Copies of this chain bind each other. A is one copy, B any other.
Amino acid sequence: MRREVTLRDVAELAGVSSRTVSNVVNGYANVTERTRVRVQRAVEELGYRPNVLARNLAQGRSGQIALVVPYLDTPYFAELLQSVIRAARAGGYNVLIDQTDGDPEHERGFIAHGSRRLLFDGVVFSPLGLDQQALADRDPALPLVILGERASDGTFDHVGIDDVAASRQATEHLLDLGRRRVAAIGDQPYATGEAAQLRTRGFRQAHEGRGRPVHEDLIIGTPRFNRPDGARAMADLLDRENPPDAVFCYSDLVALGAIHTILARGLRVPEDVAVIGYDDIEDGRYSNPTVTTISPDKEWIATTAVERLLLRIGSATPPPGLELRAPHRLIVRESTAGRAGY
């Protein structure tokens, strides 16, 4: 492998100092047209490309941000990732990606003090279960934006929709359809299940607001928000003596799993059981039936998260940690409204 072309080589050919070449390459002001052209020509002649590594070292930054999510094969995160990459690229940053598999140890390591120093300049983090301890141990110098449930403590930004309000809205939709035995699938009544708990709270609020009793036995927990768990939980519900006539699922995947079970039993959606999901992933728009859902504005979330992170990275004094509420809306589809005429 022959040696690569460096700034100095270009400088020599152009008859200027290497610092001037650097100025030209980086488009700094205060370079006369004459020198600029001369340098440009030399750059092209030698086929010079800046060495990113060296630049990063000299600047003490990596030009990369990390996106840390629990699972990547979850459509919600995949869709989010897409928008994050786009936003990061617009800001001149590359995206390093990591998946934690929801492992708290791994999650903690990612923001721990000094961890992987300088590999990335900041982190967009969607934790599954980040406890107080992990936040306490975190490197305070690492710019951080958290997605999802956990509220900001003032040292990082938090971007997410209002889970309680959205869940109340979803549940109200079911109650307003006249359903009386509404189940909820996805509760996680332990430390790391904050997002789930907020949804359960909204679920309860809706019942209160409509003057209906909550059927406590119809609130089912699931370890993850995926299809198999949704399918299993639904099977459990249908095995009961008194099955529900509607289900609020804490993710679209859970809803798809639940629908799968319902149809497999020969029951109809929504006639026998109405189903509503959460996340508005593409799958739910083409499934049979299509899935009514809470649609968070993912583009808004991704763009805002990256914007805030880059701002944080660029600030000498860290800006205050903001609580950013993303817009969301209820999208009614076949799984609650039935099939429209064709």
A244 in the interface (beta carbon within 8 A): no
Tell me whether B117 and A50 are in contact (CB under 8 A). yes
Tell me whether B72 and A81 are in contact (CB under 8 A). yes
Stretch at the interface among A13-21, A26-34, A207-215, A252-260: A252-260
Which of A72-98 touch B at CB < 8 Å? 72-75, 78-79, 81-82, 85, 94-98
A283 in the interface (beta carbon within 8 A): yes
Contacts of A53 in B (CB 8 A): 53, 56-57, 60, 62, 118-119
The smallest C-beta distance from A243 to any residue of chain B, in angstroms, reads: 16
Q: A342 CA to B57 CA in the complex, in Å?
A: 63
A227 in the interface (beta carbon within 8 A): yes
A35 in the interface (beta carbon within 8 A): no
A191 in the interface (beta carbon within 8 A): no
Contacts of A113 in B (CB 8 A): 47
Contacts of A282 in B (CB 8 A): 73, 227
Contacts of A222 in B (CB 8 A): none
Chain A contributes a number of interface residues (CB within 8 A of B) equal to: 56
Contacts of A62 in B (CB 8 A): 52-53
Closest to A256 in B: B286
Tell me whether A286 and B52 are in contact (CB under 8 A). no
CB-CB under 8 A for A97 and B85, given A4-B117, A49-B115: yes
Q: A122 CA to B49 CA in the complex, in Å?
A: 17
Binding site for B on A (CB under 8 A): 1, 4, 47, 49-54, 56-57, 60, 62, 64, 71-75, 78-79, 81-82, 85, 94-99, 113-119, 141, 227, 231, 256-257, 259-260, 263-266, 282-283, 285-288, 339, 342
27 A-B residue pairings within 8 Å (CB atoms): A47-B114, A49-B115, A50-B117, A52-B62, A52-B116, A52-B117, A52-B118, A52-B119, A53-B57, A53-B119, A64-B96, A71-B82, A72-B78, A73-B81, A73-B82, A74-B78, A78-B78, A85-B99, A94-B119, A227-B282, A256-B286, A259-B288, A260-B288, A263-B288, A264-B342, A266-B342, A287-B288
